[in-house]
Chain A
Amino acid sequence: MLGQGVETRNRLKNQMKARVTVTLKSGILDPQGKAIEGALRSLGIVGVSAVRQGKVFDIEIDGADRAKAEALLKHAADKLLANTVIENYRVEILG
């Protein structure tokens, strides 16, 4: 049991949690956001003037080098997670 605990600690030490948030660029029509907006209105939730739907990716990264992790995630976002024709993305290293 003791050995397992050390292993877990080591693993935790060598991993980072990160988040990539993908949002639609302004000016791109978001019919899903519009539908959600309408649903909120029909629920009587007033005061919401606009909804834009996006995506969140929670990602675990090997290693402890934040700059390297950030570069890796930017590469991943450009290659796959976002379609930069219509979407923007933001990379955060959560620790």
Chain B
Amino acid sequence: MKAAVLVFPGINRERDMARTLRMISGRDPAIIWHTETELPSSTDLVVIPGGFSYGDYLRCGAIAARSPVMDAVRAYAAGGGLVLAVCNGFQIACEAGLLPGVLMRNARLKFICRDIFLKVERSDTPFTRGYNAGQVVRVPTAHGEGNYTADAETIARLEGEGRVIFRYVGPDGARDPAFNVNGSTNAIAGIINDYGNVLGMMPHPENHVEAAIGPTDGRGLFAGLVEALDRAA
């Protein structure tokens, strides 16, 4: 895996992400500053990590989405390259037009910082091959604006095309408004683009990968990506 982790001013989860990528793939990712206009030529995974790019000014992710490196990411994604966008990264990807919809202020207005449960809707994507479809995973989440919204037509298309990859559920996997922590439409926590090579998700799988810290449910996502890339190579 030759991952590239993007860094914008105000991003603060890039080191957690780099550490996890190194641990699971055995290789250090390239760290790419937002003013770069190209990605390293051998890049096979671009990661847009979490944080507070530009202090969440204007709208979360809005300014980062217009930085020079994002033109390179759009071109890379258009060529089929894999992009993993987590938390603020998901907001950036939406603002950049890589994914549809928008992440609004959490419905109950609170910043949420705790473990949540996700149902993995599909296992036949490069991002989820390390899981079984229907599996429930426990991962941390930390955001104030994760309330996924899009127009009714877009939601219908996402659902119809099976592009909702993760949903907020209870520990038993059942949909329950009490566990839809931020009020997202249809409890959507993660989606892929129409081509299936860009995943955006609010929770942080990179923070649940070490037994010393707690659950390791996040490993599946990265292990699955390594496997998918090895098979492609």
The residues of A with any CB-CB pair to B shorter than 8 Å are 28-29, 31-32, 35, 79-81, 83, 85-86
Q: Does any Cβ of A come within 8 Å of B143's Cβ?
A: no
Residue of B nearest to A35 (CB): B109
Q: Does any Cβ of A come within 8 Å of B24's Cβ?
A: no
Chain B positions within 8 Å of A28 at CB level: 104, 149
User: 13 other contacts beyond A85-B101, A85-B149, with CB at 8 A cut-off?
Assistant: A29-B147, A31-B105, A31-B108, A31-B147, A32-B109, A80-B62, A80-B63, A80-B66, A83-B59, A83-B95, A83-B102, A85-B150, A86-B149
Asked if B107 contacts A31 (CB within 8 A), the reply is yes
Main secondary structure of the interface of A (DSSP, over half): helix
The residues of B with any CB-CB pair to A shorter than 8 Å are 58-59, 62-63, 66, 95, 100-102, 104-109, 147, 149-151, 183
Min distance, Cβ A10 to any Cβ of chain B, angstroms:
32
Asked if A85 contacts B109 (CB within 8 A), the reply is no
Asked if A29 contacts B58 (CB within 8 A), the reply is no
Main secondary structure of the interface of B (DSSP, over half): loop
Asked if A29 contacts B109 (CB within 8 A), the reply is no
Q: How far is the CA of A86 from the CA of B62 in the complex (A)?
A: 13
Min distance, Cβ A77 to any Cβ of chain B, angstroms:
12
Asked if A86 contacts B102 (CB within 8 A), the reply is yes
Residue of B nearest to A82 (CB): B59
Asked if A83 contacts B62 (CB within 8 A), the reply is yes
Query: Could you give 28 example pairs across A and B, Cβ below 8 Å?
Result: A28-B149, A29-B147, A29-B183, A31-B104, A31-B105, A31-B106, A31-B107, A31-B108, A31-B109, A31-B147, A31-B183, A32-B105, A32-B109, A35-B109, A79-B66, A80-B58, A80-B62, A80-B63, A80-B66, A81-B58, A83-B59, A83-B102, A85-B100, A85-B102, A85-B149, A85-B151, A86-B102, A86-B149
Q: How far is the CA of A25 from the CA of B107 in the complex (A)?
A: 16
Chain A positions within 8 Å of B107 at CB level: 29, 31
Q: How far is the CA of A41 from the CA of B100 in the complex (A)?
A: 36
Asked if A29 contacts B104 (CB within 8 A), the reply is yes
Residue of A nearest to B59 (CB): A83
If A79-B66, A80-B58, A83-B59 touch, whether A29 touches B149 (CB-CB below 8 Å) is yes
Residue of A nearest to B66 (CB): A80
